[in-house]
Amino acid sequence: MNGAVSISVREVCKSFRRFPALHGVSLEFEAGRMHGIIGPEGSGKTTLLRIMLGLLVPAQGRVEYFEDGRPADFEALRPSLAYMPQTQSLYPDLSIDEHLEFFRDLYSLPREIYARKREELLGVTRLAGFVDRPAGQLSGGMYKKLGLMCALLRSPRVMVLDEPTTGVDPISRRELWDLLYRLLDENVLILVTTAYLDEAERCSKVHLVELGRVVAAGEPRRLLEVEGARSFDELFMRRAAASAP
């Protein structure tokens, strides 16, 4: 449970019924950093994540996993990858506590570790007062926080979040980000996709994806300097204007 995980995506292509989603995408993700995959809707972000998690098989190219710099087998690493899908992924009729207990047993967590984790996560998310409320009756932000809690119950080494802040109010968005920063201290590789371009600056490294291609990658401020833009909004607007007929 201690090796730092890094992932390289090499020349990955994927299409759905002749509709191409990714064209030869290559990316490097390193442990202990917050990687943002930024791009407009429909740019292939979710497909990329699903391929990295083994939920989709790429048509071409491959994904390589490393543990402390040495190549590692995906199946061996799989239990330490946590994923929070973008779409609703909780049971509307089960309460917060019932979700946590279900995932506790799904991950075979020992009781005492579970008790400590539960306490800690409920404290950070400030959901302790709502443990009996069914997920279907939670607000957008609370719902996302519960999804994140379920994923974080098992101390993952790679945390993959697909648009965790979409549909979440500004205060909860901030709390979600704070929750993610705490993970960085534990040398976790975090991968976040977002369509909110202002959130790009919260990441330690950003990968700009557009129409199934990586168009730029690097530290957010450096990237803006190189591109000569003041913000990612501006950068994307300019690119959109340039590619328009």
Partner 1 sequence: MINRTLAAFIKKELLQALRDPRMKFILFVAPIVQMTLFGVALSNEVKNIRLAARFDAKDMVMRQVYDRAIQGGWFVPARAAGAGTDDPFELIRSNRADAVLVPPPGGFTRALGRGGAPLQLLIDATDVNQAQAVEAYLRAIIQDVLKDDAGLAPPAPTIRLDVRVLFNPSLNTSLFMVPGVMTMLMVLTTLVLTQIAIVREKELGTFEMLISAPVSKAEVIFGKTLPYVIIGMANLPLLLLVAVFVFHVPIRGSLAALVLATLVFVCTTVAMGTLISTFCANQQQASMGGFLFIFPAIMFSGIIFPIENMPASLHWLSFIDPLAHYLTLLRNIMLKGGDARTLAWHIGVLAVLAIASGVASFRRFHTTLS
- Interface residue list for partner 1 (CB under 8 A): 50, 53-57, 78-79, 81, 83-85, 87-94, 98, 101-108, 150
Return the bridge partners of 191, or none.
35, 160
Minimum distance, C-beta of residue 164 to partner 1, in the bound complex (Å):
13
Nearer of residues 123 and 167 to partner 1, judged by Cβ: 167
Q: Of 39 and 85, which CB lies nearer to partner 1 in the complex structure?
A: 85
Minimum distance, C-beta of residue 218 to partner 1, in the bound complex (Å): 29
- Rank residues 108 and 243 by Cβ distance to partner 1 and give the closer one: 108
CA 139 to chain CA mean position, Å: 20
Cβ 203 to partner 1, closest distance in Å? 22
Q: What is the SS3 assignment for the chain? A: CCCCEEEEEEEEEEEECCEEEEEEEEEEECCCCEEEEECCCCCCHHHHHHHHCCCCCCCEEEEEEEECCEEECHHHHHHHEEEECCCCCCCCCCEHHHHHHHHHHHCCCCHHHHHHHHHHHHHHHCCHHHCCCEHHHCCHHHHHHHHHHHHHCCCCCEEEEECCCCCCCHHHHHHHHHHHHHHHCCCCEEEEEECCHHHHHHCCEEEEEECCEEEEEECHHHHHHHHCCCCHHHHHHHHHHHHCC
- For residues 26 and 88, which CB has a smaller minimum distance to partner 1 in the complex? 88
The nearest distance, CB 83 to partner 1, in angstroms, is: 4
Task: Find the shortest distance in angstroms from Cβ 82 to partner 1.
Answer: 8
Q: At its nearest, how many Å lie between partner 1 and the CB of residue 46?
A: 10
Residue 52 or 224: the one with the smaller Cβ distance to partner 1 is: 52
Smaller CB distance to partner 1: residue 141 or 147? Answer: 147
Residues 6+ apart with CB under 8 A from 136: 92, 93
